Amino acid sequence: MFDLDKWSEIYASVKKHKLRTFLTCFGVFWGIFMLVVMLGASKGFENGVKSTLDVAPNAIFVWSQKTSIPYKGLKVGRFVRMKNGDIEAIRREVPEIEALSPRNNLGAGFTVERKNKNASYDVFGDYPTLPKVEPIHILEGRFINQSDIDERRKTIVIGETVEKELFTKDEKPLGQYIKIKGVFFQVVGIFRATGGAQDVEQKGKTIYMPHSTMQLTYNQGQDVYWFGILPKKGVKASIVEEKVKEVLRRQHSVSPDDLKAFGSANVEEEFGKAQNLFDGIATLSWFVSIGSILAGIIGVSNIMLITVKERTKEIGVRKALGATPASIISLIIQEAVVITLVAGYLGLMAGVGLVEGINMLLKATGADQGGFFANPEVNTSVAVTSLIMLVFVGALAGLIPALKAANVNPVVALKDE
């Protein structure tokens, strides 16, 4: 039940020693404030690093190289060329794959033309699954679809830099034609890449066409230059990576012990190293902040001991009039919890306010785009955990003083001067 007398006494006690209460509260305030700010900064660093990724964080890339071990009469140093048949073999034998994206390219040394304009761009032959492996934003139109692959359509999706360089502002690129190595292709989409500023700029100079169209148009036969792979949720990329290589070794008569015939890049492993750094920073933030909070709590406990000493006679009078030890303990603990909770709540609000202010400033200035620090935020669970922790430690801080107050002898207390 709400006891107005108790709350009045707590208010009077706090008001009587304003400076002492303020200095005591500051330790708790600072601990919670630092916890929120450091965790927000840690999350901002994590979000910034993630935003610079131009591929899925668990993507895998596999390409062919030269063999390093002779096998089944085949000599060492043989270059393995992956084929279209590998696509179905991988899909059939590696069910853990969410998306498989074969890719070819045209290499360098040619120009892309439109009317009287020309420039050099990266041109890739891809599948509709590519955006799952390398996320992109479609600004206009669409990406390559399965019908483009099946019918070998001469369609392309261009980056926004290609659009700006080959088309004027008043032109609509969709439906227009661009000549690539002497062959005309129709623009069906315009995209913007993800990742850091440099990645966005570089990939803006990219053109995608159907994989099958590139093979047919530019005499690449059944060759596949490399695979982009996305494992299913919950499946480790390293498992899928090894299974794909095993399939490719069987497909191309490569020794099971040959580790050099197929190269690969595992983004999950590299990102995992960065994630360990983020986790370490978060752990350090908790460690430092909890140390500060504990220092503040010790201060609260000491102040409550002083308060009990100062109110010894008052407590003796209460006990002489019939107050129970439980009511005395409740009063002291309640005062400690109130001091701790108010100080902690103000620290929490100040920390959240600072983090949100920094976030708004970054967005207003555009500094959150393509940098290594973006969208600092405080997890709701952290805020709730902090408040629960404050109540607990506040009660803990008041427990020893409260037990001392409960053990006051009324006769001795009334004689105390």
- 0.75 surpassed by pTM: no
Selection from 114-118, 159-163, 272-276 with the highest mean pLDDT: 159-163
Classify residue 235 by burial, with Cβ atoms within 10 Å: 0-12, 13-18, 19+. middle
φ, ψ (nearest 5 deg) of residue 113: -120, 150
The secondary structure element, H or E, covering residue 411 is helix 410-415
Q: Do 231 and 352 sit in the same domain of this protein?
A: no
Distances (CA, A) of 145 to 96, 151, 365: 23, 10, 37
Any domain includes 389: yes
113: amino acid identity, one letter: E
Of 49, 35, 206, whose CA–CA distance to 112 is shortest? 206
Any domain includes 88: yes
Q: Do 361 and 310 sit in the same domain of this protein?
A: yes
Of 105, 136, 134, 88, whose CA–CA distance to 229 is shortest? 134
Distances (CA, A) of 392 to 233, 305, 329, 330, 355: 38, 18, 15, 14, 26
E-strand stretches of 290-330: none
For the stretch 358-410, pLDDT in tens is 888 877 776 555 556 667 777 777 777 777 777 777 777 677 666 666 666 66
Q: Do 212 and 227 sit in the same domain of this protein?
A: no
Q: Do 309 and 354 sit in the same domain of this protein?
A: yes
Tell me which of 260, 287, 314 is where a domain ends.
Answer: 260
For the stretch 273-311, pLDDT in tens is 777 777 777 777 777 767 777 777 777 777 777 766 666
Any domain includes 339: yes
For the stretch 30-39, pLDDT in tens is 878 887 888 8
Q: Check whether 98 has a pLDDT greater than 90.
A: yes
Any domain includes 256: yes
Q: Do 142 and 187 sit in the same domain of this protein?
A: yes
Q: Do 71 and 10 sit in the same domain of this protein?
A: no
Distance in angstroms (rounded) separating the CA atoms of residues 327 and 144? 74
Q: Do 119 and 158 sit in the same domain of this protein?
A: yes
Q: What is the largest CA-CA distance in the chain?
A: 108
Instruction: Please count the structural domains in the chain.
Output: 3
Give the residue-averaged pLDDT of 176-199: 88
pLDDT at 244: 96
φ, ψ (nearest 5 deg) of residue 367: -75, -10
pLDDT bracket for residue 128 (50, 70, 90): very high
Q: Map tokens 């002492």 to a residue.
A: 20
Any domain includes 265: no
Any domain includes 267: no
DSSP-assigned letter for residue 108: S
Any domain includes 245: yes
φ, ψ (nearest 5 deg) of residue 385: -60, -40
φ, ψ (nearest 5 deg) of residue 72: 50, 45
Q: Do 132 and 281 sit in the same domain of this protein?
A: no
Q: Do 237 and 365 sit in the same domain of this protein?
A: no
pLDDT bracket for residue 85 (50, 70, 90): very high
Contact 14, 293 (CB under 8 A): no
Q: Do 73 and 149 sit in the same domain of this protein?
A: no
Any domain includes 157: yes
Residue 401 belongs to domain spanning: 4-53+272-415
Q: The tokens of 109 are what?
A: 């040394």
Tell me which of 217, 251, 284 is where a domain ends.
Answer: 217
Distance in angstroms (rounded) separating the CA atoms of residues 43 and 77? 47
List Cβ neighbours of 354 (8 Å cut-off, separation of 6 or more): 36, 37, 40
Q: Do 238 and 151 sit in the same domain of this protein?
A: no
pLDDT at 14: 62
Q: Do 92 and 228 sit in the same domain of this protein?
A: yes
Give the residue-averaged pLDDT of 180-188: 94
